[in-house]
Structure formats: structure tokens, C-alpha cells
Amino acid sequence: MNRDCSDCQWKAVARILWPLLLLLPTLPAWASDDALWKRLKSEEGLVVLMRHAQPAGGNPLMWDESGNCAGEPMLTDGGKAHARRIGEAFASRGIRPTVISSPMCRCRDTARIAFGDAFVTDGALREVASADSERAKQFERTAQSLIGNRRGPAPVVFVSHRPNIDLLTMELIDSGDLLVGKVNDKGEIDVLGKITVH
């Protein structure tokens, strides 16, 4: 009797777990950090979506079009150090990316500290957290065009904001995280995984 009851319990557990096990192959299989770095070094058509390093103060939606950063959040000392470590992670692997940045100061500073002064920006790439749908569409068109037109042997690094990256990939990342994806000629991104540089 106990044996039969035990078998019943296992069968009940199996009935519950079996449908869940069938779902496993459909879950995203993200690559490890090492595998992603290797792909960035050797594979064409990749993009790295990078959220700016840690800022403080200012109005996160404020953009000083003059470039003087008045009223904008600026990187903390920790944010600057994090941006340097990200740049060092690319340099130590011999990866020299093409860089695109939001025009907002925390992104421009992250891009400059990590990769130097040679980067592209556009006013449409600023943060779209509270933007109307037309501005969000303009951001998406501009970002996809810039990324798609610059894809090639070197990866494209796109330094941006959490809502902007979410709009392009449906993925949320933390400050300084690197979301790696394969990009087609239209600038559409298929996410491969995430690298965290501490």
C-alpha cells in the first residue's frame, strides 16, 4: 500500500514537472562572458548596447543642447572608474569598437572615458523615458540606422540609457552592463547575452 502511494506521489510530481521541462528548450541560451568576448573579437556584425556608468545629481531627462551639461546628471567618481574598467576590458582583448553615444553628458562621458573621443552622436538618441510616441519612434529609427550602417568587422558599441536599450531589445540592464547582440543591415538586434564588468 505504501509503495502504491509513493508511486502516486511521483506520478503527480511528474505530471506537474513534465510541461515545465518541455519549455526549457525555448528559454534563451545566453553565452558566457568569455564566449561573448571571443565573438566580439572575431565575429562581424555585432553590437554592444551599454548603459552609461553611474551618474548622480541633475535631472535625468535634462539635456543641455550646448554640450555644457548644465542641469544634467554627471558621472560619479565610481562611474568614471567603471567606465575606465570597461574600456580596459575591450583594450586588453584587442577589441577596438565603433562607438555611438547618446548626446547626454553621462553617456558622452562614459563613451569618452572608455573609448576615447572618436564617437558619433545624434540629438534623437537622448533619453526617451517620458517621450511621446513620435519621439520614441524617431529614436528607434535613428539608432537602428546608425547601428546598421556601422556594422562590420569591429563591433559597434552603443552607449545609451536604460529605456532606450529596453526599446531596442526588450532587455533591462544596469549601469555599465554590456548587452551583446547580432545586428542585421536594418539595425535590428538579436540579443546573444550580457557581460558584466565590475
Q: Which CATH architecture has domain 30-195?
A: 3-Layer(aba) Sandwich (3.40)
pLDDT digits (tens, 9 = 90+) for 109-148: 999 999 999 999 999 999 987 668 888 999 999 999 999 9
Residues 6+ apart with CB under 8 A from 95: 37, 40, 41, 154, 155
CA–CA–CA angle 104, 48, 95 (5° rounding): 110
Element (H, E) at 179: strand 178-183
pLDDT digits (tens, 9 = 90+) for 48-88: 999 999 999 999 989 999 999 999 999 999 999 999 999 99
